[in-house]
Amino acid sequence: MAQQDEEQKRVQYPLDSDYYKILDEIGVGVSAVVYKAICVPINSTMVAIKAIDLDQSRADFDDVRREAKTMTLLSHPNILNAHCSFTVDRRLWVVMPFMSAGSLQSILSSTFPDGLSEPCISVILKETLNALSYLHGQGHLHRDIKASNILIDSNGSVKLADFGVSASIYESNLSRGGWPSSSSSSLMLTDLAGTPYWMAPEVIHSHNGYSLKADIWSFGITALELAHGRPPLSHLPPSKSLLLNITKRFRFSDYEKQQKDKNKKFSKTFKDMVAACLDQDPSKRPSAEKLLKHSFFKNCKGSDFLVKNVLQGLPSIEERYKESTILHGQSVMKNGSSEDEEVDDEGDPVRQNIKQRRISGWNFNEDGFELDPVFPTESRDELIVKLVRFGGETIIQDHGGESSQSGEFEFASCTEEIGVSGTENMDNSNPNSLNEISEEAQMGVQGEEQSAVGRSGGVQIGGQGLDTEAMVRGLVLLKTSLDDQREKVVSMIRMFQGEEGGEVSKEEQMGQVIDELRKELEIERQRNFEMEMELEFLKLQISGA
Amino acid sequence: MKGLFKSKPRTPVDIVRQTRDLLIYAGRNPDSRENKREEKMSELCKNIRELKVILYGNSESEPVSEACAQLTAEFFRENTLRLLILFLPKLNLEARKDATQVVANLQRQQVNSKLIASDYLESNKDLLDTLIAGYENTDMALHYGAMLRECIRHQCVARIAILNDQIVNLLSNNFLFRMFLQSKHMKKFFDYIQLPNFDIAADAAATFKELLTRHKSTVAEFLSKNYDWFFAEYNSKLLESTNYITRRQAVKLLGDMLLDRSNSAVMTRYVSSRDNLRILMNLLRESSKSIQIEAFHVFKLFAANQNKPPDIISILVANKSKLLRLFADFKTDKEDEQFEADKAQVVKEIASLEP
């Protein structure tokens, strides 16, 4: 059985820095440095060492631990494993195989700024899908699929890397779904992780929960990235990308608008494959396994093809890295760190598992200009901060919720004044019900803060334990989503005001946005109603007990 | 072979039984012909995968509670859990992971609204020994470690279960838990969390923390009964470890324990010892900001103690100016009102001390 192979395969790499000889720095981030090195006692094998500064991690090191564990326990030819990991004073060294051609993102930006050819894309995506199919079979979400996390070795082999924000649907906080009651929601995650441009709409709206299909979305975005050399909407600041993401479909034509080279033609089967991945409805997106059977991957070439067509003449990782640091020198470093600092400033531990904080072994190709998600300092990025914060037990309390819930369609007034009146613009809406929602949600928040047994006066459950907690969480989620929506509308208003030319297309876009938001409001109402029912039910149970 | 099993759909009970038979086979020495063994082993792995699918569902189907209950009942009716744990090393990586998830799930499954996994473990205490010793085996550590954490986490069962069976669950879980804490194995964790393999050490640390923070009353009882050896080890092996990550985790966990209201008696005792104070003051001087901050959260308890023993006072007085200087530019990275308030309080306390 595989048992023997496995033991054979597992060469034990030494757990001591003395046995490694560092050759070169090939990447740097705020909390990590990546080196090219050799492991002297093992035939001077080439390795990549990611040295993570632990002093910037949370003290329980949960995220780092999870990453290390994932990298140890996954075993697939298309997944980058760690040979071992150990601490060297304040740093954690993760020793990994050296993938000499580096990340696809770095390949794109150094050599193929307008994207790769379809046959090459097909090979890369197929290998990536193999990895995804395996991961998903294991109940793991990668949560950060993108070109900078896909690595190539000199022989053309493709590996998916960076499990810094990956999660297991078996291990996550399952209190929400009420395990073992076996509802499908128990296999859903609700915290926010990933990188904005690649993030699926349901991840952005993560109160509804998301699952494996979120990776398929990111996979689709990655396909576009490989085709064009950068992810869609990357000309926008990331928060705006988040916004548009949920309000409209991606079309290939979006590129035609943005891009100078309109000559690039794509095959129907490629477009069809990508479109399937980018369906707004997660349940309509194909699984990784099913995607592998898509005709786009028929007659797919082998790794040799990549060696010939992509790798030949490619500057080495070191050269690419040096070039990028020389070219962009200081500013690159600054950009790289500004996004991190932005997260750090808040210092909220919950957010430490988001992508912006983590530095993957190969994720350092800052020379991509707009490719890189650099967070603007304008207030729009509050959206991200807010979204991002939403994740664990720590729940948003930072902004006054009162005015937040209903101003969705008040376009005339600016930002803060949006009041309840805004709702009246909308047909058949009921401001009162909205207020109730938010009030309940707020009481929920207070209840959570007090964390006493008889929490939450608004939600009158005298009981204790998970029941109330789940309820409170639900209500808080509701509140968050309302806040989020307000945030989005405010941003939309700004966008609108900022471009007073008032093109027809903008208005159309707004119309779409309004429709989307309207639908969401309906869903929220429905959810609220369901919660109330549940509350009633629980009250009955308690009074009966 | 295949046709035989495919002929009629197997019930969960069938699958458990067959898994058990195959596990017994796997446990034997591999004297039989190699290819036959290989076939049986892959059959076993497939069975374990099927058990997992029954318990967790998959993309096509949700788990059925009736099937889960049948599976669980059969699993614990005989010694399948024992066999699965003991012969886990014989399985391949994928099957080990599946088995770990199966065991984790079984801890929460109810049969006739009883958590029978808890009962089973209670009468098979030695299985915990096996799981704990798993930390000494690089290949098995993460699997056994994950199982172990599930076994000691019984309280986090689904909310319905808690409402219906709270008392029963509490009793049985606490029994298990107490047994665990008092076992000789508790001491082993002081070494496990300093193993060189980061992934294993971190897993052990997570378990250690779980043990010392979950089930509050039991922890309080454990700490007061085992105070002397426990804190002697804790100080010398963890807080004064040469390993950065060990010190940092230890001081954080110490703060969590001492600040928990249920451990107030232990806290009072801890902050009356000059040795402890000396260790914490050394941690305050560390160059790592993170350790300094965590150390402060423990140090403040010494300062805030209204019945400070004379030797504590004399140390604080002797270091008064140094401490005040330290606190003068002692800041957290982000603004933290609570921290600032605590600091002001500590500064006030120390400034007012007279020899």
State which residues of chain B have pLDDT below 70: 1-8, 30-33, 59, 153-185
- Residues A403-419: what's their mean pLDDT? 32
Determine phi and psi for A20, rounding to 5 degrees: -115, 145
**Residues of chain A contacting residue B63, judged by C-beta atoms under 8 Å apart:** 180, 182
Whether residues A267 and A150 share a domain: the answer is yes
Whether residues A325 and A467 share a domain: the answer is no
Task: Give the number of domains in chain A.
Answer: 3
**Residues of chain A contacting residue B110, judged by C-beta atoms under 8 Å apart:** 180
**A182–chain B nearest CA distance, Å:** 6
User: What per-residue confidence (pLDDT) applies to A9?
Assistant: 53
Could you tell me if residue B326 is inside a domain?
A: yes
CB contact (8 A) between residue A61 and residue B209: no
Range of the domain at B327: 239-355
Could you tell me if residue A386 is inside a domain?
A: no
Could you tell me if residue B195 is inside a domain?
A: no
Whether A444 shows a pLDDT value over 70: the answer reads no
Residue type, A298: K
CA distance B10 to B27: 24
**A178–chain B nearest CA distance, Å:** 5
Whether residues A83 and A112 share a domain: the answer is no
**B35–chain A nearest CA distance, Å:** 9
**DSSP-derived 3-state class of residue A21:** strand
pLDDT band at A62 (very low <50, low <70, confident <90, very high): confident
Whether residues A495 and A351 share a domain: the answer is no
Q: Give which of A171, A161, A180, A184 is closest to A82, Cα–Cα.
A: A161
Could you tell me if residue A206 is inside a domain?
A: yes
Whether A339 shows a pLDDT value over 60: the answer reads no
Compare all CA atoms of chain A with the CA of B250 and give the residue at the minimum distance: A59
CB contact (8 A) between residue A61 and residue B245: yes
Q: Convert the pLDDT of each residue in A187-201 to its tens digit.
A: 455 454 556 566 666
User: What per-residue confidence (pLDDT) applies to B54?
Assistant: 93
DSSP sequence for A313-362:
TPPPHHHHHHHHHHHHHHHHHHHHHHHHHHHHHH--GGGGGSGGG---TT
CB contact (8 A) between residue A541 and residue B163: yes
Q: Give which of B69, B82, B179, B83 is closest to B116, Cα–Cα.
A: B69
Compare all CA atoms of chain A with the CA of B207 and give the residue at the minimum distance: A60
CA distance B249 to A446: 30
Which of the residues B49, B135, B140, B199 would you substitute to probe the A interface, choosing the one with the greatest number of A C-beta atoms within 10 Å? B199
User: What per-residue confidence (pLDDT) applies to A248?
Assistant: 47
Any binding-site annotation on A50?
Answer: yes
Could you tell me if residue B27 is inside a domain?
A: no
Residue ending a domain, choose from A356, A371, A386 = A371
**Residues of chain B contacting residue A18, judged by C-beta atoms under 8 Å apart:** none
Q: Give which of A358, A92, A17 is closest to B248, Cα–Cα.
A: A92
CA dihedral sign of residues A144, A147, A153, A158: positive
Could you tell me if residue B77 is inside a domain?
A: no
Nearest by CB to residue B42, choosing from A1, A59, A463, is A1
DSSP annotation of B239? I
Give the active site residue among A5, A24, A144, A483: A144
- Cα B102 to chain center, whole Å? 18
Q: What is the mean pLDDT of chain A?
A: 66
CA distance A210 to B91: 32
**Residues of chain A contacting residue B160, judged by C-beta atoms under 8 Å apart:** 178, 181
Place of tokens 């937040």: A404
Range of the domain at A481: 395-544
Nearest by CB to residue A3, choosing from B57, B92, B209, is B92
| Contact between B299 and B284 (Cβ < 8 Å) | yes
User: What per-residue confidence (pLDDT) applies to B249?
Assistant: 93
**Residues of chain B contacting residue A184, judged by C-beta atoms under 8 Å apart:** 57, 62
User: What per-residue confidence (pLDDT) applies to B194?
Assistant: 93
CB contact (8 A) between residue B290 and residue A184: no
**A304–chain B nearest CA distance, Å:** 30
**Residues of chain A contacting residue B142, judged by C-beta atoms under 8 Å apart:** 69, 72-73
CB contact (8 A) between residue B203 and residue A69: yes
DSSP annotation of B309? -
- Helix locations, A16-91, DSSP H: 62-73
Task: Give the number of domains in chain B.
Answer: 1
**Residues of chain A contacting residue B206, judged by C-beta atoms under 8 Å apart:** 60, 62, 65
Whether residues A494 and A404 share a domain: the answer is yes
CATH number for the domain spanning A280: value is 1.10.510.10
Whether residues A47 and A123 share a domain: the answer is no
- Report how many Cβ contacts below 8 Å link chain A to chain B: 138
- Cα A477 to chain center, whole Å? 19
Q: Convert the pLDDT of each residue in B97-133 to its tens digit.
A: 999 999 999 988 888 888 888 888 877 777 887 888 8
CA distance A434 to A429: 9
Nearest by CB to residue B203, choosing from A54, A65, A92, is A65
Query: What is the helix (H) or strand (E) element at residue A49, kind and residue range?
Result: strand A45-53
Q: Convert the pLDDT of each residue in A32-50 to its tens digit.
A: 888 999 999 999 999 999 9
CB contact (8 A) between residue A87 and residue B138: no
Could you tell me if residue B305 is inside a domain?
A: yes
**Residues with Cβ within 8 Å of residue A59, at least 6 apart in sequence:** B248, B249, B252, B290, B294
**Residues of chain B contacting residue A545, judged by C-beta atoms under 8 Å apart:** 163
Could you tell me if residue B322 is inside a domain?
A: yes
CA distance B246 to A295: 53
Tell me how many degrees the CA angle B36-B41-B42 measures, rounded to the nearest 5: 100
CB contact (8 A) between residue A54 and residue B166: no
Residue type, A290: K
Whether residues A332 and A420 share a domain: the answer is no
Is A114 among the residues known to form the active site? no
Determine which of A113-127, A370-384, B127-141, B241-255 has the lowest per-residue pLDDT on average: A370-384
User: What per-residue confidence (pLDDT) applies to B260?
Assistant: 93
CB contact (8 A) between residue B163 and residue A89: no
CB contact (8 A) between residue A175 and residue B159: yes
**Residues of chain A contacting residue B93, judged by C-beta atoms under 8 Å apart:** 2, 6, 73, 75
Q: Give which of A33, A154, A25, A181 is closest to A97, Cα–Cα.
A: A154
Nearest by CB to residue B92, choosing from A1, A64, A467, is A1
User: What per-residue confidence (pLDDT) applies to A511?
Assistant: 81
Torsion of CA B255, B256, B261, B267, to 10 degrees: -30
CATH number for the domain spanning B304: value is 1.25.10.10
CA distance A183 to B327: 52
Could you tell me if residue B196 is inside a domain?
A: no
Q: Convert the pLDDT of each residue in A342-365 to its tens digit.
A: 333 333 333 333 333 222 222 222
Whether residues A90 and A172 share a domain: the answer is no
Residues linked to residue A102 through DSSP beta bridges, in sequence order: A152
Whether residues A6 and A30 share a domain: the answer is yes
User: What per-residue confidence (pLDDT) applies to B164?
Assistant: 31
**A89–chain B nearest CA distance, Å:** 6
Which of the residues B93, B102, B139, B251 would you substitute to probe the A interface, choosing the one with the greatest number of A C-beta atoms within 10 Å? B93
Compare all CA atoms of chain A with the CA of B146 and give the residue at the minimum distance: A171
Whether residues A489 and A431 share a domain: the answer is yes
CB contact (8 A) between residue A178 and residue B159: yes
User: What per-residue confidence (pLDDT) applies to A143?
Assistant: 82
User: What per-residue confidence (pLDDT) applies to B188?
Assistant: 84
Q: Convert the pLDDT of each residue in A241-284 to its tens digit.
A: 554 444 444 444 444 444 444 456 788 899 899 989 988 888 88
**DSSP-derived 3-state class of residue A502:** coil
**B244–chain A nearest CA distance, Å:** 6
CA distance B99 to A170: 13
Place of tokens 């029978």: B116
| Contact between A386 and A397 (Cβ < 8 Å) | no
Q: Convert the pLDDT of each residue in A288-329 to its tens digit.
A: 999 999 999 998 888 899 998 888 888 888 888 877 766 554
Compare all CA atoms of chain B with the CA of A542 and give the residue at the minimum distance: B163
Could you tell me if residue A381 is inside a domain?
A: no
- Cα A459 to chain center, whole Å? 33
CB contact (8 A) between residue B93 and residue A6: yes
Left if phi > 0, otherwise alpha if psi is -120 to 50, otherwise beta: which for A451?
A: left
**B314–chain A nearest CA distance, Å:** 32
Could you tell me if residue B325 is inside a domain?
A: yes
Compare all CA atoms of chain A with the CA of B249 and give the residue at the minimum distance: A59
Could you tell me if residue A379 is inside a domain?
A: no
CB contact (8 A) between residue A463 and residue B163: yes
DSSP sequence for A409-442:
G--SS-GGG--GGGGGGSTT--HHHHHHHHHHHH
User: What per-residue confidence (pLDDT) applies to A358?
Assistant: 29
